[in-house]
Amino acid sequence: MPSPCPASTPAPAPPRPAEPPAGRSGPRRGHAVGIAVVLVAQLMLALDTTIVNVALPRIGSGLDFTPAGLSWVLNAYTLAFGGLLLLGGRLGDAYGRLRVFEAGLGLFTAASLLGGLAHTPALLIVARAAQGVGAALAAPGVLALLTAGAVDQGARHRALALFSAVSIGGSTLGLVLGGLVTEYGSWRWTLLINVPLGLAVLVLAPRFVAGTPKRPGRFDGVGAVSATGAAVAVVWALIGAPDHGWTSLRTLGGLAVGAALAAVLAVTERRVPDPLVVPALLRSRDRLGGLAVTALVFGSQMSIFFLVVQYVQRVLGFGPLRAGLAFLPMTLGIFAMSRVTPRLLARFGRTPLLLAGTLGLTAGYLWLGNVAASSGHATAVLGPLLLNGVFAGLTFTPAASLVLGDVGPDHAGAASGLLQTTQQLGGAIGLAVIVSVHSLGAVPGAFVPGLRAAFTTAAALTVVAWVIVASTALTGRRGAVGRAS
């Protein structure tokens, strides 16, 4: 602020530039630090989706899990995270995104500590569920806080590219890190590693991350219960579908409950003044196309995280660390494309990048479909994973841009929650379908039979995404021509 001039001064002194806030050398650097702090939080959430995977055998033996119970180390997190994302996004809009982000990250960090110290299966599962609740509160705020500070469309695209790189690259990096700490330390560090990172973010976020004002309104309780219940019911049904069967009472009943609660949500959101899911967000053809592409691509990616991680250990004989390092080319490809994609997006637009990205992903899955028991790492895994990383990095930023484009500040958290809920549900559906297809061709004692059909299914998902992108672009072009005439 300018210093006040004494009355005796004949002319006011020229005003001095505003002092940067304490702890920052300037607003630009402070904004960059804020972005880095938020991205570290997103990295924690992304790592946690996969870092435990490689450690599952040692968790099972260390805590005497049953085979069925061990799956809940992953499922408890997925259910809570996917089921509560919409609620987390709306709470951020209503009570301030930074405040809800900090509350969620605090819960996530405390639950990580509890899980790392757990000595019974039940306590570890409870801790994983609590991690999922914390992640659901924090995750929508990550994306909203990143994009809220963007000064123009280019900055917004760069923020989305960084978010996509950290989200997807962090998931693959989780396999590397999980293998490292499991091989040379303890499985407990797959959870405890979150504690120092979380504490650092909680200390730095109030200093460097700009908060958002509360947007008070009447809370949509019916919408919150129905949206959460629908997401949990659908994810729960799909998680068990490969084991219980697609026509089992458990699967069909869970899907029916999810559909019924979704219908309640749809009716409710048209009648309440402050809906949990804003109906206007679903009236855009581009946004719906972006959500569909996101779900399909995330679903196809689960073939990598579930099948390839087992192939390199069960067939190629890799240990935990080497299995994690096998995914490093994919991680490097994603992070490299995060630097390039914003410039490509500014030059060519969303549609060409999405068409090229989904086509490249299809080629990678078809390549993986050729794996055999006698295949080597270089020919069976290295090339396809590098290809996947490059084209996944090319795809996610424009897809996220379609979903979040033209969203006002009042609904940024809700839109972020909708995008991330779609990612979680798409991943759950894709994993259930791909595991079911693989099991149909499985041979007892052998892992390779069924892989070709499973990876072909993943390729089919990205082909459908390609068709959606092409048809959405064609429909938009026809509409523009019609309006012009």
The partner residues of 446 in beta bridges, in order of sequence, read 443
Dihedral (CA of 39, 188, 176, 64) sign: negative
For residue 101, the SS3 value is: helix
446 backbone dihedrals φ, ψ, rounded to 5°: -130, 140
Stretch 77-89: mean pLDDT? 84
Q: Tell me the two tokens of residue 208.
A: 């460097």
pTM above 0.85, yes or no: no
**Residue 10: both structure tokens together:** 């004949």
Tokens of 160: 């989305």
CB 297 within 8 A of CB 361: yes
pLDDT for 11 equals: 43
Q: What's the mean pLDDT in 297-321?
A: 87
Q: Is the pLDDT of residue 6 over 50?
A: no
Is-contact 205 347, C-beta < 8 A?
A: no
The percent of residues in the chain predicted with pLDDT above 90, rounded, is: 31
Bigger pLDDT: 365 vs 89:
365
* Single-letter code of the amino acid located at 221: G
Short-list 382, 16, 326, 7, CA closest to 173? 326
* pLDDT at 22 exceeding the cut of 50: no
Which range, of 163-177, 238-252, 276-290, averages the lowest pLDDT? 163-177
Mean pLDDT score, 167-176:
78
Apex 112 CA angle, 303 and 295, nearest 5: 30
Buried residues in 266-294 as b, exposed as e (16+ CB within 10 A):
eebbeeeebbbbbeebeebebbbbbbbbb
If you count them, how many residues does the chain have?
Answer: 485
CA distances from 68 to 121, 239, 452 (A): 12, 12, 26
Helices (H) and strands (E) in the chain, counts: 20, 0
Radius of gyration of the chain (CA): 23
Backbone angles phi, psi at 443, to 5 degrees: -120, 130
The C-alpha atoms of residue 357 and residue 334 are separated, in whole angstroms, by: 12
Name the percent of the chain lying above pLDDT 70.
88
**pLDDT digit string (tens) for 397-414?**
899 888 887 777 777 777
Of residues 341, 367, 393, the one with CA closest to residue 166? 393
Tokens for 315, please give them: 């067939």
Residue 443 forms beta bridges with which residues? 446
Is residue 87 a contact partner of residue 276, using CB atoms and an 8 Å limit? yes
Q: What is the pLDDT of residue 123?
A: 96
Query: In the predicted model, what is the mean pLDDT of residues 314-320?
Result: 85
CA-CA distance, 135 to 313, in Å (whole number)? 29
CA angle 60, 62, 66 (to 5 degrees): 30
Please check the confidence at residue 15 and state whether its pLDDT lies above 70: no
- Token pair 């637009």 is found at 349
Instruction: Say how far apart CA 415 and CA 408 lie, in whole Å.
Output: 9
pLDDT at 23 (0 to 100): 43
Residue 400: name the closest of 146, 88, 135, 85 by CA. 146
Give the best-scoring range by mean pLDDT among 106-115, 172-181, 246-255, 301-310: 106-115
Using pLDDT thresholds of 50, 70 and 90, give the confidence band for residue 151.
low
188, 124 contact by CB (below 8 A): no
What would the pLDDT profile of 121-132 be if each residue is shown by its tens digit?
A: 999 999 999 999
Torsion of CA 378, 379, 380, 383, to 10 degrees: 80
**Tokens in use for 56?**
């599952």
- 217: pLDDT confidence band, cut at 50, 70 and 90? low
Does position 483 have pLDDT exceeding 50, yes or no? no
Please say if the pLDDT value at position 372 is more than 50: yes
Residue of 142, 178, 84 lying closest to 421 (CA atoms): 84
How far is residue 86's CA from residue 422's CA, in Å, rounded to a whole number? 10
Q: How far is CA 11 from the centre of its chain?
A: 58
| Identity of the amino acid at 162 | L
Mean per-residue pLDDT of the chain: 83
- Top pLDDT among 97 and 454 is at 454
CA 230 to chain centre: 19
- Compute the distance between CA of residue 167 and CA of residue 173 in angstroms, rounded to an integer: 10
Distance CA 160, CA 403 (A): 11
CB 453 within 8 A of CB 259: no
Instruction: Tell me the two tokens of residue 131.
Output: 């991690």
